Amino acid sequence: MNKMEDFLTATKLNDLLRRKEEDEKSKNTLLWVLAIIGAVAAVAGIAYAVYRFFTPSYPDEFEEDFDDDFDDDFFEDGEEE
């Protein structure tokens, strides 16, 4: 009977070790997936920052065009009573 108990104990121990190895593999896989997602997000962020840095902005020209179209003539017309 003692050999049978030893065999069952060894079997249970092997099952626990296998479960632990499978858990470690799944954690390792999850870690790799998160690392890849983080790397892709970092590259996308850098690409966006470079795009924003090299893309010219023209707010001064827009304001000048707006000022040319609407001079103070509109306000002066109302004061001529």
Token pair, residue 38, equals 């983080």
- At residue 79, the 3 state secondary structure works out as coil
pLDDT at 24 over 70: yes
Residue with tokens 């998160």: 34
Q: How far apart are CA 16 and CA 18, in angstroms?
A: 5
Residue 2: predicted pLDDT:
81
Q: pLDDT (tens digit, 9 = 90+) per residue, 57-68?
A: 766 666 655 555
Domain-wise residue ranges, the chain: 2-77
